[in-house]
Structures are given as C-alpha cells and as structure tokens.
Amino acid sequence: MTLRLSARAEFKPGQFMNLGLHLPTGFVSRSYSLASTPGEPLEVLLARVGEGALTPALFELQPGASVTLDDKPQGFFTFDYVPPHRELWLLATGTGLGPFLSMLRSGAAFGRAERVVLVHGTRGAAELAHRDELQRLAAERGASFRYLPTLSQETDPSLAHGRLTTLLSSGALEALAQTSLSPDSAHVMLCGNPQMIDDVIALLAARGMKRHRQRVPGHITTEKYW
Ligand SMILES: Cc1cc2nc3c(=O)[nH]c(=O)nc-3n(C[C@H](O)[C@H](O)[C@H](O)COP(=O)(O)OP(=O)(O)OC[C@H]3O[C@@H](n4cnc5c(N)ncnc54)[C@H](O)[C@@H]3O)c2cc1C
Ligand SMILES: NC(=O)c1ccc[n+]([C@@H]2O[C@H](COP(=O)([O-])OP(=O)(O)OC[C@H]3O[C@@H](n4cnc5c(N)ncnc54)[C@H](OP(=O)(O)O)[C@@H]3O)[C@@H](O)[C@H]2O)c1
C-alpha cells in the first residue's frame, strides 16, 4: 500500500527516512524510501511482512494517526552517486519501486538519460503499485520511457511473466524495452529484494558491468531493503 503523510521534506530522490511507532513492546523504527516528489506530502510504499515487528501495526493505522519521523532524509541511492549515462535502467522488486517513483515523478530520472527503462517485478498484479500512473507517464514520454511490469506468480497476457532475472537472461527485457543493456551506454539501479540484487549483479558481470564506486567507476548502483 501507499502510506501518505501530511509532513513534507526536502530530499534527493532515492533517499529514505526512518519512520516509527510506539508499540506495546517499545519504540520500533524502520527505514522507508521516499516515493513522493521532494517538497510534496511524503509518500512511502509499504509491504506487510506477516511476522514483521512494524509493518502489521502500520497497516492497522487509521486516517489521521501519527507516526514518528526522523529529522533528516538519508542515503546515497541518488543521482549524486551515479556516473554519466545515456540509458538508465531502473530494476525493482516489490516496494523497491518507491525510490524510482520519486525519481520519475520529480523528473530527476530524465535529467541525463536519453531513455529510461523501469522494470517492476512483483508476484501478482495487486503489487504493481501506481501502475496506472506509470502507464500514463510512459504514454506521455514516448520512446524516452519504457515501463515494464513483470509478474512471477500470476499470468496476464498483457504482461511479461517470470522473475526479472529470468527475463533479463533470456533477452526478453531488452526486446520489450527495444534497446540493449550495454556497458557502453547504460547505468543500472537496483532496489528491493537483496537476493534479486545479487543475482542481477552476477548476470550483469557477464556483460562486463560492475558496481559503481566513487573511486572506481562502474555501471551498477544498489539499495538493498534487507
Ligand atoms: C534503505 C532502506 C529502505 C527501505 N525502504 C522500504 C520501502 O520503501 N518500503 C518497504 O516496504 N520496505 C522498505 N525497507 C524495509 C523496511 O525497513 C522494513 O525492513 C520492512 O518494512 C519490514 O519491517 P518489519 O518491522 O515489519 O519486519 P522485520 O521484523 O524487520 O522483518 C524483516 C524481514 O521482512 C522481510 N522484508 C523486509 N522488507 C521487505 C519488503 N519491502 N518487501 C518484502 N519483504 C520484506 C525480510 O525477509 C526481512 O528479513 C527499506 C529498508 C532499507 C534498509
Ligand atoms: N505467502 C504469500 O503468498 C505471500 C504473498 C505476497 C506477499 N507475501 C509477504 O509479503 C511480503 C512482501 O513480499 P513481496 O512479494 O512484496 O516481496 P518479494 O518476496 O521480495 O517478491 C517480490 C518479487 O521479487 C521476486 N524475487 C524474489 N527473489 C528474486 C530473485 N533472487 N531474483 C529475481 N526476482 C526475485 C519475486 O519472485 P518469486 O515470486 O519468484 O519469488 C517477486 O516477483 C513478504 O513478507 C512476503 O512473505 C507473502
């Protein structure tokens, strides 16, 4: 779900804030990527982790309830730490879409790239958050933005089926994006499930792509959620 707060903050798209609740067991706080445009009311995408300490309580909140928010946004998953590129590939699983929504909504993703490809991998269509909004943005942006939702556990004839790693290996993602994912032109940002991130890094290594570091330039930037 999308949690909408009345608070606003200035931040760089890709950053996160810590959000917490006073529960009977004590104060519990977790990190959440900001999905909104900087300066607008804050939004985060939330997955309910059944056995989780915080998210079941967040899902019980009623409109108007209060949460505790850190003073400052944090994090380095921003364009300040991304080298020049012509094509930007944004690969998310589940709520890993959050920071990319902020980058797309604010226009920051289009700052340097001629083309942006967003791949959102979820189990089912219900988790394809903000799908209508992203489809509208794709229609507005034409060839400069491709939105590729993929489902791993449901089939929908209008959507790609399989994990995004499988679709990357088979070449299906590049065919759908109508461009190749190449170290000569692309930077890849990965967000969400940590095993997905490790698996994609291994697949991209075979193409000669590696993690970007300030001192050793590369092609991949990551944000692991756990
Ligand atoms: C920098 C950063 C940004 C994050 N941004 C988001 C965000 O925007 N939205 C969000 O939902 N979560 C986000 N997370 C994860 C979030 O901080 C919590 O871990 C998550 O909400 C679970 O909290 P919990 O207390 O309910 O579960 P915990 O008791 O902390 O249980 C953690 C377990 O839940 C699972 N898990 C954690 N996060 C997710 C997830 N997003 N999807 C599926 N399974 C998960 C993992 O198995 C993990 O080991 C982020 C984490 C980091 C480090
Ligand atoms: N029990 C259930 O049926 C069920 C359903 C929904 C949510 N949940 C719970 O809800 C929470 C959030 O789950 P979520 O579905 O948003 O997050 P998730 O478990 O990270 O899955 C999101 C997407 O990432 C894919 N994925 C996982 N590992 C990958 C890898 N190594 N490489 C490429 N893709 C990978 C998943 O594919 P796969 O489907 O192939 O794993 C799925 O399409 C979790 O606590 C989960 O237990 C449970």
Q: For the residues of 47-79, what is the DSSP string, one character each?
A: ---TT-SSHHHHHTPPTT---EE-SS-B-S-SG
21 falls within a domain:
yes
- Per-residue confidence of the chain (226 residues) as pLDDT tens digits? 999 999 999 999 999 999 999 999 999 999 999 999 999 999 999 999 999 999 999 999 999 999 999 989 999 999 999 999 999 999 999 999 999 999 999 999 998 899 999 999 999 999 999 999 999 999 999 999 999 999 999 999 999 999 999 999 999 999 999 999 999 999 999 999 999 999 999 999 999 999 999 899 999 999 999 9
User: Do 88 and 8 share a structural domain?
Assistant: no
* Amino acid 221: pLDDT: 98
pLDDT at position 71: 83
Do residue 150 and residue 185 come from a single domain?
Answer: yes
> Cα(153) to centroid of ligand 2, in Å?
9
- How far is residue 99 from each of residues 66, 83, 124, 226, measured CA to CA in Å? 23, 18, 20, 15
Both 96 and 56 in one domain: the answer is no
82 alpha carbon – ligand 1 mean position (Å): 24
**CA 21 to ligand 1 centroid distance, Å:** 15
pLDDT at 111: 86
Domain boundary among 20, 42, 69: 69
User: Is there an atom of ligand 1 within 6 Å of 163 CB?
Assistant: no
Out of 54, 97, 152, 188, mutate this one to test ligand 2's pocket (max ligand atoms within 8 Å of CB): namely 152
Determine the pLDDT at residue 112. 85
List the CATH number of the domain containing 202.
Answer: 3.40.50.80
Q: Are residues 119 and 40 in the same domain?
A: no
Residues 120 and 23 grouped into a single domain? no
Give yes or no for residue 127 CB within 6 A of ligand 2: yes
Domain enclosing residue 58, as ranges: 2-69
| Dihedral over Cα of 93, 181, 204, 35: its sign | negative
User: With contact defined as beta carbons under 8 Å apart, do 163 and 192 qualify?
Assistant: no
* CATH number of domain containing 53: 2.40.30.10
User: What is the predicted pLDDT for the residue at 67?
Assistant: 96
- Distance between CA atoms of 179 and 172, rounded to whole angstroms? 11
DSSP 84: -
The answer to whether the CB of 30 is under 6 A from ligand 1 is yes
Assess whether 83 and 60 both reside in one domain. no
Distance from the CA of 94 to the center of ligand 2, in angstroms?
A: 7
Chosen domain end from 69, 92, 126: 69
Into how many domains does the chain fold?
Answer: 2
Ligand 2 contacts CB of residue 121 (under 6 A): yes
| pLDDT at position 167 | 98
Amino acid of residue 171:
G
